[in-house]
Structure formats: structure tokens, C-alpha cells
Structure 1
């Protein structure tokens, strides 16, 4: 047999096909391993980026939500918070609540999305919670509690509600939340006598005169044109200071108002300077910063230069009886009323 016959035998078609299959198999294994490695690296990078975004969103969400609540619901806070992570984002479902007496009262539920790729929030139907009463438009919270009304001393209302006069019709175990509107604006130095009368009542919030001239004119026009007896300012439209000093004793905490007001001004000015925001937070930031600019422009750059217009208080009918018929109370409206747990 010649050398050429041996060559033909060694490299026949079967051997060539076998060699080709071996090369293809090695190439397939190599390409599969490379693809798997790339996929694993991509997944790891995606997980790391997603966790960074999620954690940043997670850490900032409650701050933003609390700011939103603070600017629209005096004395309220976020409760029953549930975080649902998504890809490069997080959805936060929470309940807006307030504590009245020893009870936590749920007002309504909300959802917000945060992050680069914000998770979708389902759309629902929200029916109007506003109805007309003899005092104008009354609005309820989602869970049925009535929102409080405030009455500005520089607006001439047709009539003024006096819910304080009705507290003796309630049982002794009720804890009553109430909005108190004063007969004029008082400086923090002029409020001492009123604060002394309120020393046994739990003061939860201080109403400040933050309205611009444009807002005041709008309120006056509303009162002038509305057919109802009055058009109080709903609690979501007023701004002020949460008071959590000295167990609610405003008399012993008058000196704390300076620090509280300065801290609040700084909060309005600084807002939430973060890239990962919600639309609501962005709007709130803008509102707060505009309010800060207005207050500074109006010379209300410290607590001595801004007027106190009223309070949110709570107590039993025995406690609230101490301020019934006080001449400095122009109007009073009920908020949440609950039975005491103990």
C-alpha cells in the first residue's frame, strides 16, 4: 500500500467529520461558558445597581412622605408602611394616621412610587368627600372623620362655628380633637395669658399666619360669594408647627417656639435635594421653597415676627371646659372624636 493510500485511510470522510464535530463541540462549550459568565456578571451588576437604587429610595421615601403629610395634615404621620421593591424602583403603600388620646386613628391610604423605573400604581375611582353644610364645605377623611376648619381673624365671616359649646353633650370618656381659631393674630410674647388658660389641655399644633396677600384675597372672595353662612379654611390649607414639647403644655413651652420656628424655616428652605424623587415630593419641595421665600420677603424670618392664629388641641370635655366662652376664641370646630381606651 502506498503512502497516499495510508493518507486517504487516515483522513477519510468519517475522521474529518469527527474532527469537525469535536471542534464545534469545544466551540459551543466555550461560547456557552462565556455567555453564562457574561449573564452572571450582568445579573450581579443589575442586582447591585437595583439594590443601590432600592436602598436609596427606601431610606429617603419616609422622609419625603412625612414632609408631604406635614404640609397637608397637621399632627398626622405615616403608619402601616409597606415597601414593594421593583426593578430600579420601589412602591410605598402607607396609611395616613394621627394619634388622638390613646388611639391611633386612620385617616386615609395612599401609594407613591420612587426610583428611576417607578413601579406602576393602580388607578382607582375617588369620589368627592366634600358636602355642603351650614358652615360651607365640609370635607371628610377616607375613613369618615371630619376635617377641621379654621377661621382667619382678618377675614369677616358671616358667622362662626362654636363646637366648644357642644362638648357637654358628649360622654365623659370621649377624647375630642378641636381646631381653635383666635380673635386676632398674637405674637409669641403676647400669647402667654392664652397659653396659661390652656396649660391643662394637650396642645398638638400651632397655626401660623403664613398666607400671602393673594391667598387672603382668594379666601375673602370665597366668603363674599358663597351662599353658605361661612367658608372656613380647611386643615389641608393651613401651615404651622407641630408641638410635642412638655406633654402638650403650651404655657411651659413658649420659649421653645423660637427653636421650633427656626428649624421649620430651615426645613422649608432646604427641602429634599435628591435625584430620586416622586412627583408629589417635587411639588411639595417647590411649595415649601416658595413659602420660605414669601416668609422671608414678608419679614417673618424669626418667631417674633410671625403671628399665631390658633391651635389644634385635644382633651376630654372636662379639660376643654376650661376654655369655653373665652373671649379670645373666635371659632372652634371638631376634628376626630374617639372613645378613650383606658
Structure 2
């Protein structure tokens, strides 16, 4: 073999070694890049989940705090959380108790983000409202509300200090019902009362389960408004979704004005989403004092349950300004 052939073989071997080394470098760099990418993705997903865990917990806590002072005779029965990338959904269902019988009442969905915000998706969340022939015949300028999920009646609440064009009184309808039927009903009072006074004046068989609290810092929406055409729009009663108060718990009926103040105080210091609403109510009740007292709690109405026969005892009671039926169920 001559020198030229030997040089050619050495060059070929060197080129092969270079190509092999280059392939190894490419494979090694690709493996490292893939490992780093997978590590970053895993770390990012783990971080995202941790942020969503915290965000969903905070969202559920804020909602539960608000439910503690709202939602007449409503309780959260279950919740479901679905996690995604950078955002997730929180769903929960509520129920009512009518003389110990649960009635599935509604469900709500919230969207939350990994950075802590949450809100309800766009949509119409108002209750179902239908014209009632009897109300229309009596000149009512509003419809009868019903629950959009189960078709049950929704309660209405009338402020004692407001003069309404009409007051809904559904106590006479009890006469046409099976006396054993279990009924929920909102009672709007003629003036303010305390828990002690309410318990004393309600007839036997009429069980208070939720107390409506005066949280009305702005009364402008409840004054008659004159329109440009000369017509007058009369104030509307409040739907159950708009009122605040406190009620008994499924495992205890020991309740007082202090329970509302405790829930309010906790919300002021711990709620994030609804902090301003908690603070508005807190400031309205305390006026110029450092903090509100139980004597500052003025009760405008009550939600009661009982049999249709038992609730008939409310007919003719002077403190009843309006009585609106809610959920009904067979024993």
C-alpha cells in the first residue's frame, strides 16, 4: 500500500469518528434538552396545580362565608372542583330543609384562575319569573318568582319602612292544601323585632329557621320613581337572592343575633372576593361605634317552616305584613 492510500484510509477513519462524535453530541444535547423541557413542564404543571389548589380553596371559603349571611334556609350540600391549565371550575349544590326533609335547591358554577381571581361565567342567573293570573287581577306590577332548577316557589321580602303598591299574602292558599303538606314561608314584619320577640310571638307549630336582617344602607332603590312620561314606578320586594340574615344549622337550632355578628366579623377580616360587601354591612350596623353590637341587629322578617295546617295560625296575626310561600314537600 502506498502513502496516498494510507492517508486516504486515515482521513476516512477520522471523518467517521467526527461524524460519530457529532451524532453522540446531538443525541446527548437532544436528550438533555428533552429532559430539561419535561422537567420544566412537570414543574410548571405542579406549580399550576398548587396555585389552583390554593385558588379553589380560597374561592370556596369566600363563597361559604357569604352563604353564612345570605341564602334563606339554604345549605351547601356538595362541591366539585375541576382543574385545568391556568384556570378551573368550581361547582356546588345547595339544598333546603323543610321540617327535616331536604329539598335540592340549586347549583352554581364559578371559574377561578391560578392567580387567585374567580367569578361566575357570563349568563343570566335570575330566577324564573312568571305572570300569576291572581296577582295580575289584583294589580301587581311584578311577576311571581320560581326556582329555575326545580320549579318551586321563591320567597319575596317586603321592607317594613317601605310603602308598596301591593303585598303578596299567600296564607289563604294554605286552606286549599293538604294539611300534612310541609311548607316553607317568608314572613315580612310590620316593624323590627328581636330573635327573642319573634320566638315568643310565633304560634306553636310555626318554626323559625332563618332571620332577615336590616342591612339597607341605601334606601334610594326603594322609593317610588317618577318617569319622564309621568308614570310612577313603585318599589319592588326583594327576592331571596338579595337579602341577608342568619339561620339555624342542620345539627343545631341554637341561634341568636351574635351568630350574624360573628359571621360578619369573620368575613370582614378574612373574605377577599366579597370583603367590601361585608364591610358595608359592618359599617352600617356599627354606625359611629368601633364595632356593632347585638342590639344593632334589627330583624325585618323571618322564614318559617311547618305543616300547612300549622302555618294557618299565622292568618290574622298583626305583625304579618306579607307572607310568601317557598318550597313545599310531602311529609
For normalisation by structure 2, the TM-score amounts to 0.81
- Could you give the per-residue CA deviations for residues 134-160 of structure 1, whole angstroms, max 9, x where no partner exists? 344232221222221112211223343
Could you tell me whether the CA contact under 8 Å between 1:71 and 1:236 is conserved in 2?
no
State the alpha-carbon separation in 2 of the partners of residues 142 and 70 from structure 1: 22
SS of residue in 2 equivalent to 1:57:
helix
Partner residue of 1:99 out of 91, 97, 100: 97
The residue aligned with 1:291 is 281
2:183 corresponds to which of 167, 170, 176: 176
Q: Is the 8 A contact 2:112 2:119 kept in 1?
A: no
Partner in structure 1 of residue 83 of structure 2: 85
Cα 1:264–1:325 change in 2 (3 A) is same
Q: Distance in 2 between matches of 1:262 and 1:116?
A: 32
The residue that corresponds to 1:130 in the other structure is 129
Which deviates more from structure 2 when the two are superposed, residues 33-42 or residues 176-185?
33-42
Counterpart in the other structure of 2:260: 261
Structure 1 Cα separation of the partners of residues 204 and 259 of structure 2: 19
1:18-167, aligned counterparts within 5 Å? 18-70=16-68, 73-116=71-114, 129-133=128-132, 134=135, 135-137=140-142, 138-143=144-149, 144-167=151-174
Q: How many residues align?
A: 317
Whole-angstrom CA distance in 1 between matches of 2:119 and 2:328: 36
2:302 paired residue number? 311
Helix, strand or coil for the counterpart of 1:75?
coil
8 Å Cα contact 1:95/1:110 also seen in 2: yes
Instruction: Give how far 1:266 is off.
Output: 0.5
Residues 187 and 130 of structure 1, relative CA distance in 2, 3 Å threshold? same
Distance 2:317 2:123 in 1: 46
- Matched residues in 1 for 2:46 and 2:161: separation? 57
Q: Distance in 2 between the 1:193 and 1:61 partners?
A: 39
Is 1:234 matched with 2:225? no
From 206, 210, 225, the equivalent of 2:232 is 225
Q: Which runs of 5+ in 1 are unaligned?
A: 274-281
Is this contact kept in 1: 2:169–2:324, CA < 8 A? Answer: yes
Q: 1-side partners of 2:23 and 2:320: how far apart?
A: 90
Contact 1:107 1:142 in 2 (8 A): no
> What CA distance in whole angstroms lies between the structure 2 residues aligned with 1:80 and 1:41?
36
Distance 1:158 1:119, change over 3 A: closer
Tell me, which stretches of 5 or more residues in structure 2 are unaligned? Answer: none
- Secondary structure of the residue that 1:87 maps to in structure 2? coil
Q: Which residue among 323, 326, 330 is the counterpart of 1:332? A: 323
Tell which deviates more after alignment, 116-125 or 297-306: 116-125
Describe the shift of the 1:198–1:152 C-alpha distance in structure 2 as closer, same or farther (beyond 3 A): same
Shift of 1:316: 0.5
Distance in 2 separating the partners of 1:7 and 1:301: 102
